[in-house]
Amino acid sequence: MNFLRKQLDKIKPHFDKGGKYEKFAPAFAGIDTFLFVPNHTTTKGAHIRDGIDLKRVMITVVIALLPALIFGMWNIGFQNMGEGHGFWDYFSFGAIRMLPMIIVSYGVGLGIEFAYAIKRGHDVNEGYLVTGLLIPMIMPIDLPLWMLAISVIFAVVIGKEAFGGTGMNILNPALIARAFALFSYAPFMSGNTVWVADSVADGVSGATILGDLAGNIIPDTSVFDMFMGYMPGSIGETSILMILIGAAILLFTGIASWRIMLASVIGAALTGLFFNAIGSDTNALFNFPWWQHLLVGGFAFGMVFMATDPVSAAQTTKGKWIYGFLIGVFSILIRVVNPTLPEGVMMAILLMNVFAPTIDHYVIEGNVKRRKKRAQKVKA
């Protein structure tokens, strides 16, 4: 690392003002600060709260994603090869298919980020460190790489840079990529055959639980398998255990909001209970136990890693409760009543991303009115 530090310091003057490659200074600074802690610090100012910065926040989220990612790679192999193989057989099978998706996601996304930074003359933001990993983790493993690349381009350019870059977007970029892929390449994003890559074992089924339920078929997957993640689905979304480990990391470090997570679970549970009470002879999702709704599909992953996005989520304390609760409600509502979208969490989060500023606005307005009334009582 010392050698790399010395080499960067050696070429740095070429990127400084007046240097040969001055216009590429933002790109160089982005690489430098990604690899090493910046050699400058802020020593005063009312905005200082602790020693964490954006890069450390993003890296912490990436670390929280690793348990689900590692398990997802193993699960790809398990779903394709069937039983009777070792851990490394399963993991290597999944890694070989997952790593190209990660490389494409980061290569295309960071390329666009660097281009915008050079064009605008500002530093490269670290926000895509998380988005670049989230996107392949919520896509089908069989999605062609060129479709993934186009989805990434749309998400970064339209969903993020068009609003000014990191911290300015109103929608979660990773979910924009998935929504774009869903509506543009529907046959590659929906159905049961897309969740298992080129099966090499006889009798291996790619049917997801939600896909079966949407077809009014009762799945035979055990609750233990639902919790552990031994079932087809997006790479990062199947294992509740791994997602909970990631949630613990985010909550312990104070990066994610427990209010949004808890409110989402409450909203989903109450909505599931409502549909259970109604029941249906033609829609198995009405009768699917409310608490099992929390274990399948992308609900848990969405609640932990995307609903809590500090940029696109509500900011006020009361607003976070409202925002999370409505995400939970709409996730199950869309899942149950819309047979074409049994995975409703994506649409629910994007919908509430749009309304998050409105929620915060009315929460603040309500606080202002209450303070005015208290002030008037004191004067009286």
Q: Is the pLDDT reported for residue 33 higher than 80?
A: no
Q: What pLDDT is attached to residue 49? A: 44
Output the pLDDT for position 26.
57
Does 12 score more than 70 pLDDT? no
Q: Is residue 379 assigned to a domain?
A: no
pLDDT at 1: 55
pLDDT for residue 105: 97
Distance CA 134, CA 206 (A): 22
Q: Check pLDDT > 70 for residue 313.
A: yes
Instruction: Quote the pLDDT of residue 200.
Output: 45
- Residue 44: the pLDDT is 46
Percent of the chain's residues with pLDDT above 90? 56
How many domains does the chain divide into?
1
For 248-291, how does the pLDDT look when each residue is reduced to its tens digit (9 = 90+)?
Answer: 999 999 999 999 999 999 999 999 999 999 999 888 999 999 99
45 residue type, one letter: G
Q: 216 pLDDT exceeds 50?
A: yes
In the structure, what pLDDT confidence band is assigned to residue 331 with cuts at 50, 70 and 90? very high
Q: What is the DSSP string of 181-215?
A: HHHHSHHHHSSSGGGS-S--STT-----HHHHHHT
Give mean pLDDT, residues 327-342.
Answer: 88
Within a domain: 45: no
Q: pLDDT band at 116, cuts 50/70/90? A: confident
| pLDDT digit string, tens, across residues 220-255 | 889 999 999 998 888 999 999 999 999 999 999 999
User: What pLDDT shows up at residue 204?
Assistant: 45
Q: Which residue has the higher pLDDT, 329 or 207?
A: 329
Residues 267, 325: contact at Cβ < 8 Å? yes
| pLDDT of 201 strictly over 50 | no
Flag whether 14 is in a domain: no
User: What is the C-alpha radius of gyration for the chain, rounded to an integer number of angstroms?
Assistant: 23
The 3-state DSSP composition of the chain as helix, strand, coil percent (nearest 5) reads 65, 0, 35
pLDDT digits (tens, 9 = 90+) for 118-163: 777 766 666 788 999 999 999 988 899 999 999 999 999 998 888 7
Give tens-digit pLDDT for 34-90: 555 555 444 444 333 444 566 678 889 999 999 999 999 999 999 888 888 999 999
Distance CA 152, CA 132 (A): 8
Per-residue confidence (pLDDT) for residue 205, from 0 to 100: 47
Contacts 24+ apart (CB under 8 A), 95-101: 97/141, 97/197, 98/69, 98/72, 98/73, 98/136, 98/141, 98/235, 100/145, 101/136, 101/139, 101/141, 101/143, 101/145, 101/148
Q: What is the mean pLDDT of the chain?
A: 84
214: domain range? 54-198+206-370
Task: Describe the crossing of helices 54-81 and 240-252 by its angle, rounded to 10 degrees.
Answer: 170
Distance from C-alpha of 279 to C-alpha of 287, rounded to nearest angstrom: 5
Q: Is 31 among the domain residues?
A: no
Q: What distances in angstroms separate CA 365 from CA 104, 204, 252, 260, 359, one per listed residue?
A: 44, 56, 32, 21, 10
CA–CA distance, 260 with 124 (Å, rounded to integer) = 29
Residue 11 lies in a domain: no
44: left (phi over 0), alpha (psi -120 to 50) or beta: beta
Highest mean pLDDT: which range of 19-28, 198-207, 314-323, 333-342? 314-323
- In a domain, residue 8? The reply is no
Let me know if residue 359 belongs to a domain: yes
Residues 235/141, Cβ–Cβ less than 8 Å: yes
Assess whether pLDDT exceeds 50 at residue 203.
no
* Residue in this structure with the two tokens 């409110």, named with its chain if needed: 263
The answer for 167, left when phi > 0, alpha when psi is -120 to 50, beta otherwise, is left
